[in-house]
């Protein structure tokens, strides 16, 4: 087989990155800090998985980190405006086929741990189950599409303590439609399984598929299972209907798909394991189709893993700045997807072959870092070192 060659250069990738971000973020020149310098430092910090402060110490011909941070804080708008700009940037580089026909869209939350002393009083902190030694998080919700091997983030928002998952669903759905995406149906995480979300989606005539959360007595209870736990005691696949309720006495009725798989042959396991899904507005014919369709949602977890590979680290309490750093990571990841679609793919009988080996995500980030070092000169002591300081300031 002929070995593939890369047709991109670091300078071209840098120009693509600037064209992806700057027209929408609209960073301004602040005194001796230009918008180009600020964006280049952001790219370098993302590539190094470091902070703005640490990155400035590695660049010779840039102002002090306090000056850069002050310029960033001054040019950055409030969260509401920034969210609109970020979602416009995400929609700006989506492949055109995504808008031609209805798509399956996945919604999910990602939680970044927060260890501050004001966790219980800070309204911007999201509370959830314990993870990594804390119940407090900065939470971000995103909408995601998998289309013929392409995985694109189409909407992003921050989630605060006062926002319910119904509010998150409304906002993400609005952003997806504003991006020009027609929703075939939603694939939701188990956290969205609630009466409020289901009632809203049914009222909005939006089909969905989500896993069922077990409520009621467990199958091993002396009185037998109750509620949705009844489905977990089943040994055969089947189609059912279930009505769930909430503390406000509101109810929602959904069809249920129970897909049972045999665990014989797995080490230390035996018997049959049920996978339980709630759906509405779609008409599945096969149990395997439901299972495989929901499994396609797991690509959104990959997007979060890649996001963390280029997310700027910080300890700042500024909500908009933290959102910007997450948004930069998502925009760079979307740029990587777009480059493989528009530049590096090979046409093949009405479709495209994606040659991911031509430009791994890590290579693209290293190229952005290389351009920053060429523009502003690298301090020699940091040439072979990637160091994240213990105390990150900005």
Average pLDDT over residues 123-144: 91
In this predicted structure, the answer to whether residue 6 has a pLDDT above a threshold of 80 is: no
Size of the chain, expressed as the number of residues it contains? 394
Helix (H, G, I), strand (E, B), or coil: what is residue 118?
A: coil
Residue 385 has pLDDT above 60, yes or no: no
Q: What distance in Å separates the CA atoms of residue 175 and residue 86, rounded to the nearest whole number?
A: 11
Window from 181-190, 258-267, 348-357 with minimum mean pLDDT: 348-357
What residue ranges in 51-133 does DSSP mark as E strands? 103-113, 126-131
Q: Convert the pLDDT of each residue in 365-380 to its tens digit.
A: 999 999 999 999 888 6
According to the model, what pLDDT value does residue 262 have?
80
Confidence of residue 4 (pLDDT cuts 50, 70, 90): very low
| pTM, full prediction | 0.89
Rounded CA-CA distance 56/72 in Å is 13
On the question of pLDDT at 381 being above 70, the answer is no
Q: How confident is the model at residue 389 (pLDDT cuts 50, 70, 90)?
A: very low
State the average pLDDT for the chain.
88
Cα(304)–Cα(315) distance, integer angstroms: 20
Quick one: which H or E segment has residue 142?
A: strand 134-147
**Are the CB atoms for 220 and 234 separated by under 8 Å?**
no
118-124 contacts at long range (C-beta below 8 A, 24 or more positions apart) = 123/160, 123/161, 123/162, 124/158, 124/160, 124/161, 124/319
**Residue 32: pLDDT over 70:** yes
Q: What is the mean pLDDT of residues 161-183?
A: 94
Mean pLDDT, rounded, for 110-138: 89
């Amino acid at each position: 087989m002929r070995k593939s060659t890369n047709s991109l250069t670091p300078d071209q990738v840098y120009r693509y990155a600037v064209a992806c971000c700057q027209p929408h973020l609209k960073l301004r020149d602040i005194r001796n800090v230009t918008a180009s310098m600020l964006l280049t430092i952001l790219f370098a910090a993302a590539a190094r998985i470091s902070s703005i402060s640490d990155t400035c110490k590695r660049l010779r011909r840039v102002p002090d980190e306090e000056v850069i941070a002050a310029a960033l804080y001054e040019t950055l708008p409030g969260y509401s405006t920034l969210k609109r700009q970020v979602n416009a940037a995400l929609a700006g580089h989506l492949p055109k086929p995504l808008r031609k026909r209805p798509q399956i869209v996945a919604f999910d939350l990602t939680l970044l741990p927060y260890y501050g002393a004001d966790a219980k009083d800070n309204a911007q902190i999201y509370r959830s189950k314990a993870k990594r030694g804390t119940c407090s998080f900065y939470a971000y919700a995103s909408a995601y599409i998998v289309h013929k091997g392409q995985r694109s983030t189409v909407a992003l928002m921050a989630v605060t303590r006062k926002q319910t998952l119904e509010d998150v669903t409304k906002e993400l759905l609005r952003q997806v439609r504003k991006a020009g995406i027609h929703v075939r149906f939603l694939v939701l995480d188990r956290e969205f399984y609630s009466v409020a979300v289901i009632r809203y989606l049914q009222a909005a005539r939006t089909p969905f598929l989500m896993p069922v959360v077990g409520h009621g007595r467990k199958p091993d209870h002396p009185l037998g299972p109750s509620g949705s736990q009844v489905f977990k005691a089943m040994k055969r696949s089947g189609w059912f209907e279930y009505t769930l309720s909430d503390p406000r006495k509101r109810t929602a009725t959904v069809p249920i798909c129970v897909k049972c798989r045999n665990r014989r042959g797995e080490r230390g396991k035996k018997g049959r394991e049920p996978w339980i899904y709630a759906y509405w507005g779609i008409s599945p014919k096969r149990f395997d189709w439901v299972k495989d369709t929901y499994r396609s949602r797991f690509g959104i977890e990959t997007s979060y893993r890649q996001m963390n590979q280029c997310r700027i680290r910080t300890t700042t309490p500024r909500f908009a700045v933290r959102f910007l750093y997450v948004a930069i990571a998502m925009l760079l990841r979307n740029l990587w997807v777009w480059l493989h679609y528009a530049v590096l793919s090979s046409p093949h009988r009405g479709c495209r072959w994606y040659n991911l080996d031509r430009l791994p995500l890590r290579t693209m980030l290293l190229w952005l870092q290389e351009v920053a070092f060429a523009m502003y000169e690298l301090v020699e002591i940091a040439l072979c070192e990637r160091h994240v300081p213990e105390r990150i300031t900005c």
